[in-house]
Amino acid sequence: MPELPEVESLRLSLIPRIVGSTIQKVRVLMPKLVSSKGTTRTVSNTKVAEFINGLEDTKIVSINRRAKNLIFNLSSGGILLVHLKMTGQLAFKSNKNSHDKAVIGGHPIQESELVLPNKHSYIIMQLDNGSLYYNDVRQFGYLLYFKSLEVFEAEGHFENLGLEPLDQEFIWQDFYTKIKAKTGNIKKLFLDQTVVVGLGNIYADEVLFRAGVLPTRNTNSLTKVEIKKIYEAILVILPKAVNMGGSSVANYIMADGSRGTYAHEHMVYGRGGKECLVCGTILQKTVIASRTTIFCPECQK
C-alpha cells in the first residue's frame, strides 16, 4: 500500500509532466470509482456524467497533496481528488517522445510497465501531451470530482486528519500537544492518522526505532524527551524517504525513469527475525492494529 512518501514522490514526478496540460477526453470504464468513496459503492450515472463533463476541456493548474490524497486543481475551478487506497496506481505516458518512460506510482501492477492501457486501467484521461491512467487491481481507490473549492471543502473529506509532517507548519509544540491529548498504543495512534499523517506501517516502525521507543508503549507513558525524539525522527525519515522515491524499490517509476530506493534504508521494517543493524539483537515481531510490527527489544524501550 503506498504511504505518504510514495504519494508525494508520485506528485513531484507528475508535476513537470502534466501541470499545464489540458484534459481532452475522459473514459470511465469502472463507474463506481468516480461515484463515491465508501466501502460499498453504488454506481451513480449522474456522478459519472459530472466527472466526465467537469474534467474534459480543462487544464491541470496544480497538484497538491493532503495525507495520501492527491488534489488536482483545474482551470475551471474544479477539484479532482484521487486516493489510491490499497491497490490503486496512476501512470502517465507521454505522446511527445516515444523514448520517454512512463511515470508510474502506486500499487505494483506489472502489466503497467509492459502496456498502457491494460486490463486494470479503469479511468483513462487523454491529455494534449499524453495519457493519464488510473489502474486498480481490486478497485479500492476512488477519483472524485467537485465543481468548486467550496463544494470540495463542504465535503469535510480531511476533517479528521492530523498534522502534515512535510509542512513548515509541522512544529514541535503542536505535535507534543496532540500526543499528550491522546491515550493508547503509540503505533496504533500513528496508523489512525489523527495526530500526524503519513506514518503508515513502514514509517511508523522506522520512526519509532530511530527514536528508541517501543511500538507497544502507551502514549501516557512517554516522557517529553521521548516525544521529542519521535518528532525529530519524523523530520529525518519522511523527507529522506521522499527524496529517495519511497520504499517501493521495484514498483515506483519516477519521471527520470528511476525507482524508489528507501527500502534499502530500512532498519527494522521487513527484517523480523534478523539481527538489529545497530546492536545485533534479533529483531522481534508482533501485531498491532492488525499490522505486522518489527522492533528491537534492546534499542527500543
Active site residue 291: yes
Annotated active-site residue in 27, 41, 101, 291:
291
User: At residue 40, what is the residue type?
Assistant: T
In the structure grid, which three cell numbers stand for residue 245, read together? 522515491
- 68 catalytic? Reply is yes
CA gap 134, 104 in Å, rounded: 10
- Runs of H (alpha helix) within 196-270: 201-211, 224-243
Residue 2 annotated among the catalytic residues of the structure: yes
- Cα distances from 39 to residues 139, 147, 222, 240, 296, in angstroms, run 10, 23, 35, 33, 36
65 counts as catalytic: no
Collapsing DSSP to helix, strand or coil, 185 comes out as strand
The active-site residue out of 2, 5, 117, 215 is 2
Q: Which of 32, 65, 68, 188 is catalytic?
A: 68
* Cell representation of residue 181: 491529548
Exactly one of 3, 6, 8, 206 is catalytic; name it: 3
Dump the DSSP string for 104-167.
EEES--HHHHH-SS-TTEEEEEEETTEEEEEEESS---EEEEESSHHHHHHTTTTTT--B-TTS
Residues classed as catalytic: 2-3, 68, 291
